[in-house]
Amino acid sequence: MEGSDFYLDAAATTPPLPAVIAAMQQVQQTCWANPSSLHRPGLAAAEALERARWRLADRFAVQPDQLIVTSGATESVHLAIQGCAARLKPGRIVISAVEHPAVIAAAMNLQARGWMVETWPVDAQGLIRLEELNRLLSPPTQLVSLIAAQSEIGAVQPIRIVAQACRQRGIVMHTDATQLIPQGCCSFDALGVDLLSVSAHKFQGPRGVGLLIRSRDTELHPLQGGGGQEHGLRSGTEPVALVTGMAEALAVLPHYVPDERICPPGSTPFIQQQRDALLASLLKRPGVSAIGPDASQRLPHHISLLVTTADGVPIPGRELVRRLAAAGVSCSSGSACSSGASSDSPVLSAMQVPPSLRRSGIRLTLGPWLTSDDLKEVARRFETTHATFS
């Protein structure tokens, strides 16, 4: 075990399942043709694509034509927000203060086209302030994009409450469910939203493919022209092997029925117990504190920490992550989707974390490839690594 590496960065990406790799390899070998072609190889590819599409639709309890295959959640987010706004007169879009950069970028695009952008504030746990609901959903709000679960601090937002309020007011609601769905698959209608984005590589599927799911009465405008694939909304030859791999990965996720503030069960029956045991071990170290919501409103596989020395000197999260990597423990500082030089975390800033600690956050996210013995070793290596900063 001393020479083993332990991967605790599931919120960034996940190792593809063996069954996913096998299914993709089979498709690459037998259904490699363009699914728009009318010859026998093309028809074989088209059949494989539709079989995968039906499997995906079945898991979300929607019709296949409600699914739009994209390159991943970032593209899905932009198609949802910009594609919906193109059908509306400029008004106000509301996004939370803890959104993924893709949502912020899409909102800024609308701002350049005459839309107003307003940010929904969060509390010290990273949860939206529901007392702001009536104000933020009053005219001229026409579009809301609210992250379902936040990758950096694990907060699961009250999506159904906001979605119901939006529907009563005729407001279109999109949710970035990239972090939520990997912990449990529910029916699309149960969440009550109009648009939902997801990426396959977050639930042990392949990178480079994702979905945008839309309600029957939500109209979108395509962002690019071309061959008119995906119901005319996302042109480009469909990646049949990637879609097949995504369907294979989604098939093994547990099903759950969402409640207003109930988190999904986790990708394995014991993942929350494993998380809680690891967290308890880590918090024994002086200078290590948890941040974000409690277990009832947190992703079941997620740990977020602020780390200082035993004397209270803030430890740069990026440096701690580097030293843990050298010790064989893979985790993240902040969001792995944001690259570049170390800077204050926008999420921790929104949560009013003191400026001195905004670069001291780290995230550990578990997956079914880890055993309880693995996590005991992770705790030991964390303790050893943390001690090097004293």
Q: Measured in whole angstroms, how far is the alpha carbon of residue 243 from the centre of its chain?
A: 18
Alpha-carbon Rg of the chain, whole angstroms? 21
Query: Where would I find the H helices in the chain?
Result: 18-30, 40-60, 73-85, 101-111, 133-136, 159-169, 188-191, 240-251, 271-282, 317-326, 346-350, 372-387
Mention every residue, 6+ apart, whose C-beta is less than 8 A from residue 344: 355, 358, 359
Tell me the three state secondary structure of residue 54.
helix
CA distances from 388 to 8, 254, 308, 313, 319 (A): 21, 40, 12, 13, 11
Q: Which two tokens stand for residue 67?
A: 């699914």
Active site residues: 337
Evaluate whether 68 touches 233 at the Cβ level (below 8 Å).
Answer: yes
Q: Which two tokens stand for residue 276?
A: 């809680």
Spatial CA neighbour of 144 closest among 165, 123, 129 = 165
Place of tokens 């550990």: 364
Q: Which two tokens stand for residue 312?
A: 């209270």
Strands 302-307 and 361-365: antiparallel
Strands 172-176 and 210-214: unpaired
